[in-house]
Amino acid sequence: MDYNASGAVKKGKNAPRHSEHNAKGTAKNPYGAPAPKAELLARMKAAAEAKKAAK
């Protein structure tokens, strides 16, 4: 019997099937420090004001 041609399963490559749209090191998510907390708070306050004004 030829066991070489028996069709054994090949081992996985341990790699993702596709690249993420917000992967580290891209334009949308560059490497480095995260955005400062003051910037986040300013965005949150602006969003809250916009939501309040829309009512």
13 three-state secondary structure:
coil
Query: Of 5-9, 18-22, 27-31, 39-43, which one has max mean pLDDT?
Result: 39-43
Provide mean pLDDT across the span 13-42: 82
Work out the pLDDT band at 42, boundaries 50, 70, 90: very high
Angle at 13 between CA 7 and CA 19, to 5 degrees: 135
**What is the DSSP code string of 27-55?**
SSS-SSSPPPHHHHHHHHHHHHHHHHHH-
What the block records as the tokens of 50 is 């916009």
pTM score, whole prediction: 0.40
What the block records as the tokens of 38 is 């003051």
Closest CA to 46 of 36, 22, 54, 35: 54
pLDDT at 2 over 70: no
Locate the domains of the chain by residue range.
22-55
